[in-house]
Amino acid sequence: MKIAFISDIHGNAIALEAVLKDIENKHVDKIVVLGDLAYRGPEPKRSIELVKGLNTTVIKGNADEWIVRGVNQGEVPDKVLDLMNEERDWSVSQIDQADMDYLAQLPTEITLEDEGIKFHAFHATPTSLFDVVLPDAADSELESKLISAKDADVYLYGHIHKAYIRYVQGKTIINLGSIGLPFDGVTKASYAIVNVKDGILSTSIERVSYDYQKTIDLYDTVNYPNTSMMKNIVKSASINN
């Protein structure tokens, strides 16, 4: 079975469409979505609708939780709290109650098994939507924060917007990167493919080109709050600009 794991769309429906086309071309058997569907992008409604249309397994990310109940103090630096809630309120204004209910009821993790290979997938860590585990974390941190909660062969998550594949204690750990807002300097949507065939496991990070200028232009068209910063992030694929 060939499974595509996608996450961190962040309202960038143009990037999502490009990824879904790439997945179709690669003849993937199943898609799993690891959260952060709508917040901080110019097309929250269309992004949710595209994900709903997949009729597949979707879990909740921290940004989905923020859409539902707002950004709480302590979850982001105090200096940006009001602005991030303004962005959240704008996103909520673009969707309807059915979308809110959909995000609210999403589970926070999933386990899968194929040909004896076990997968554990979550947004940030198995116990938190907000913890940050970076690509250069020590093996001991990967073990304690990602692996220890449940036995599996492959662990997958999103949240940090920086894709990587590592191997720790015989386990495969994959971060999917981000479809809508990559932070690794590569202006291409990122997702992961895991293939299990005849008991053999193969993994890859896929990078998909899309017309990111159209996304940048949409921020102005829809009068998104915090437009300048978000346009810079999309243009540079980095939060350090």
pLDDT in tens, the chain (241 residues): 999 999 999 999 999 999 999 999 999 999 999 999 999 999 999 999 999 999 999 999 999 999 999 999 999 999 999 999 999 999 999 999 999 999 999 999 999 999 999 999 999 999 999 999 999 999 999 999 999 989 999 999 999 999 999 999 999 999 999 999 999 999 999 999 999 999 899 999 999 999 999 999 999 999 999 999 999 999 999 997 5
The bridge status of strand 117-122 relative to strand 189-197 is unpaired
Q: Would the pTM of this model clear 0.95, i.e. be above it?
A: yes
What is the reported pLDDT for 11?
98
Give the orientation angle of helix 78-93 with respect to helix 62-69, to 10 degrees: 70
Contact 69, 101 (CB under 8 A): no
Mapped onto helix, strand or coil, the DSSP state of residue 25 is helix
What is the reported pLDDT for 67?
98
Domains of the chain: 2-236 (3.60.21.10)
* CA distances for 132 relative to 14, 71, 141, 168, 198, angstroms: 27, 17, 11, 18, 35
154-184: string of b/e by CB count within 10 Å (b at 16+)?
bbbbbbbbbbbebebeebbbbbbbbbbbbbb
Question: Facing residues of 175 across strands?
Answer: 157, 164
Dist. CA 66–CA 44, nearest whole Å: 13
What percent of the residues of the chain are helix, what percent strand, and what percent coil, each to the nearest 5?
35, 25, 40
CA 119 to chain CA mean position, Å: 17
What is the reported pLDDT for 241?
58
- Please measure the distance between the N-terminal and C-terminal CA atoms of the chain and give it in whole angstroms: 40
Dist. CA 29–CA 10, nearest whole Å: 24
